Amino acid sequence: MTTVTETQHPVEKILQSIGIIPRGVQDDAINAGILEGKSIMVSSPTGSGKTLVGEIALLRATLDSKKGLYLVPLRALAVQIAKILDERYGTQGISIGLSTGDFHTTGEELSSYDIIVTTYERADSLLRRNASWLPSLGTVVIDEVQTLSDSYRGARLESTIIRLKRLVSDLQMIVLSATIDAPEEIAEWLNCELIVSNKRPIPLHCRIISTSNKSAAMKEIAMTTVQSNGQCLLFHRTRRAAESQAVKLAAEVGRQFTTEEKKNIDAELESVVNWDVRLPADLKALLHDGTAYHHAGLDYQARRLIEELFKRGMIRVICATTTLASGINLPARTVVLASVRSPSNHNTFLSGNQIHQMLGRAGRPGFDNRGIGVILVGSSGEADLVRHKYFKTITGIDGKTKELHPKYDRLSSKLNQANALTEQLLVSFDLYGSSTIETIKNGIFSESFLMFCSVRDTKSPHRILQLGEISAITSIERHALQDAILSARQNVLASVKLREKTDSVIGGIVTVWQGGNFTSRFSAKLSPDGTVEGPMCSCGSPLDSYGILCPHLVALGFAASKELGAIADYVIPLALSETSPLGVLTKLSLVEGGEDGEYIITHLGRVVNRLYLSIPTIREMIAILPFTESSGDLLWLLRHLVAIESGSTLDESYDNLVAGVASTDIEVSKLAENLGLHVGDAFGLLETSRWLLSAISAISEIGGFEQLTTRSLDLLESLDRSLGKKSENIREKEK
C-alpha cells in the first residue's frame, strides 16, 4: 500500500485530499512507474479498480501541463466517467471536457479542457480533423480495449491507437481491459508494462442450468435472491424479452417490499431532482414494485435513474440487454444470462470475453460474500456446448466437485475486413497526402496489431495484406499457409485437371501425390440466400475456422491462374469475397493515380474521411445523390443512410420523427411516444441524422448539386434549432 512520506508525489497528495488511497492494481501501477510516465496495461476483473489507474495517469499529465484523453466505447460510459472526474477533481482546478458525437465539427472547442472524455469514434474523428490541441496530449487512457475484437468498431479503434502514438512520440498509454487471454500480446504491441490481476473483490461461482422454461427459471432465481435481501441482474438477447420478463417479475418482487419502501421509491421518482426524467408509464409502474428494464432505447436520464436506484438498493431486479454490461459499474449478488447468442444474429455466439464481462457483475462488495453467475440453456447438449466454449472445468479441493472457471478469448485484429481495410487505406492517404501502396503498407499498417500478431501466429496466411489490385494468386495467398503456397509454386502440392472454366465457376479434379482424387471448385454464383457459393471441395473442409483453404483448392487456384489467366483473376477473388481496397477508392474517386506509382487523395476523399463516413455509406451516397431531386427524395436518402450507419431497419415512423422535429414545437419525447419509438432511440436517430445531413450537404456541394445542398442545410438548421444545437457553417468547414 502506498504510504504518505516527505517525497509523496503531487498526484498522491490530490488523491489523499479527496480520501482515496491507491491499493491493489493502482498500487501496482505506481510501483511500475505510472507517475514517471511509463505506459501501463491493466488486465483485471470488473470492480478491481482499473479506472483509478487511468485517473492517476491523467492527473500526472495535467500536473505536467499536458492534456489527458480518456477513451471509452459508449456514450453513456463517457458521461459517467466525465461526471466522476469532475466531481473528484473539478475542485482541484482541473477542467473536464466531454465530447461524444458531432463528427461534423472540428473539436476546437475542447482545447480549453485539461482532460477530455470521449468515445473511440469521436477521438478518431478528432484525429482525422487534425484538432490543434492533440499534440499537447501527455496521456491517453484506452478503456475496455477488448473492443479491438469487435467486428464493426475494432479496426477504427486499432487505427486510432496507431495514429495517436505516431502523433505524440512520448505519449503515455494507459490500457485498461477486463480479464482476457494473452494480455501480454496487447501490452507488447503498445510497449506497456503489464499488470495482471485475477483477484475479484467478491468470489464468483458460476452455474449452467438446463431448463425447458427459462422464464420460470429466471423467476425462481430472482425471487430466491430477492427474498434473501439480494439483488439480481437478468441479461436478455432483445429489448422485448427484457421488458416482458420485468413485467412477469414485478408483482412478485413488489410483494417483498414494505409499504414504507414503496413510498420511498415513489417519493424518489416524484422528487424535484427527477422531474425532467422521461419514464415510460409501464416502467414507472415497474419501479414502484422494485423492478426495472434497462436498454439503449431509454434515454440517458432514465437509464441513470434506474442505475442509481439499483445502487441504493431501492430496486432489486433489473432485466437488461447487453448494453448494461459494457463498462457500467452495477454489481448484483446474482447475474443470469438468458442466452449466449448475439443480439444481432441468433446464429452467432457471444464471445467468451462478453459472457464473462456480464457474469463478472455478480457479487456486490460490502453486501455479498460471493457472487452467483448463471447461464440458462435449453438442453443438456447446449449445456455441454456452453461449458466447453466458455469454461475450464477444474476439480475442487474435495476431489469431487467440478468447478467452472472462466475461459477467456485472445484479442484479434479486425483490420483485415474488406470495408475496414478500405476505410483505413483512405485514412492513411489523408495522413500521407500522396504515397505509394508499399509506403503505406510498410508504414502505418506495419505498426498495426494485425501485423504484430501475424508474424507470431502459425495460422497466419502467406499474404496478410493486399491493399492494391487483386488477382487469383494474391487471393489464394490471402487464404493459404506459406508451406502450401511454396509447394504449389514448385508444383509439388498436387496435379490438377480443370473441368469447369466459365466466368462464374472454375473447377476440376485434384490428385494428391500420396494418392486420392478430390473434386474442387471456386464458384462466384449466388446461392438462393443471396450469398456467394464460394470455395468447395469433396474433402469436406474447403475453409477452416481461420479462413485457410484446403491444399486441394490451393493447387486448383494456382493451376487455374496459369491456364486461364484473366478468367481466374475474375472468378477466384469473387468466390473468396476478396476486393481491392485501392480499387474501391479509385472507383469512388476518393484517390487518384499520380506519378511514380504514387496515389493522391482527392478533395472528395479528404472530405469523406474527415466527415467520418464509412465505405458503405459513401458508396450509397455517391450513387443516389444525382437522383435526389425533391425534399421527399432527401428524406428517403437520409433514412437509407441512417439505417446503414445504425445497423437498423427504419420505416415511415423515422420520416415522421424528422419531419415533426423540424417543423413543429412538439417535444421529441412526445413525438417518439406518438410514433411508437423509444425516446433513447429517437434522440440517437436525430443525432445521426444531423451528422449525415451535414455530410450530404458537403458532398452535394462538391458534386455541384446546389438545390440538394440548400435543402440539406435547411433541414439541418431546422433540426438544430428544434434540438437547441448550434449549427456550424458546413460549407466553410469542408472547403
Question: What tens digit of pLDDT does each residue of 698-719 get?
Answer: 999 999 999 999 999 999 999 9
pLDDT per residue over 265-286, tens digit each? 989 888 856 777 888 889 999 9
- State whether CATH 3.60.20.10 applies to domain 204-406: no
Work out whether strand 402-406 and strand 391-395 pair parallel, antiparallel, or are unpaired.
antiparallel
pLDDT per residue over 602-621, tens digit each? 999 999 999 999 999 999 99
Region 418-446: what's the mean pLDDT? Answer: 95
* Intervals of CATH 3.40.50.300 along the chain: 10-196, 204-406
Contacts of 222 (CB under 8 A, 6+ apart): 232, 234, 249, 253, 317, 334, 336
Region 96-117: what's the mean pLDDT? Answer: 92
Whether the predicted pLDDT of 417 surpasses 50? yes
Question: Nine-digit cell at 187?
Answer: 501490452
Report the amino acid identity of residue 589: S
Residue 395: what pLDDT?
A: 75
Whether the predicted pLDDT of 2 surpasses 70? no
Q: CA–CA separation, 686 vs 638, rounded Å?
A: 11
Class of domain 10-196: alpha beta
pLDDT level of residue 400 (50, 70, 90 thresholds):
low
Region 94-104: what's the mean pLDDT? Answer: 89
pLDDT per residue over 491-548, tens digit each? 999 999 999 999 999 999 999 988 899 999 999 999 888 889 999 999 999 999 889 9
Residue 457: what pLDDT?
A: 84
Q: CA–CA separation, 698 vs 712, rounded Å?
A: 9
Nearest to 733 by CA among 691, 688, 694: 694
Return mean pLDDT, the chain: 92
Whether the predicted pLDDT of 735 surpasses 80? no
**DSSP 3-state percent helix, strand, coil across the chain (nearest 5):** 50, 15, 35
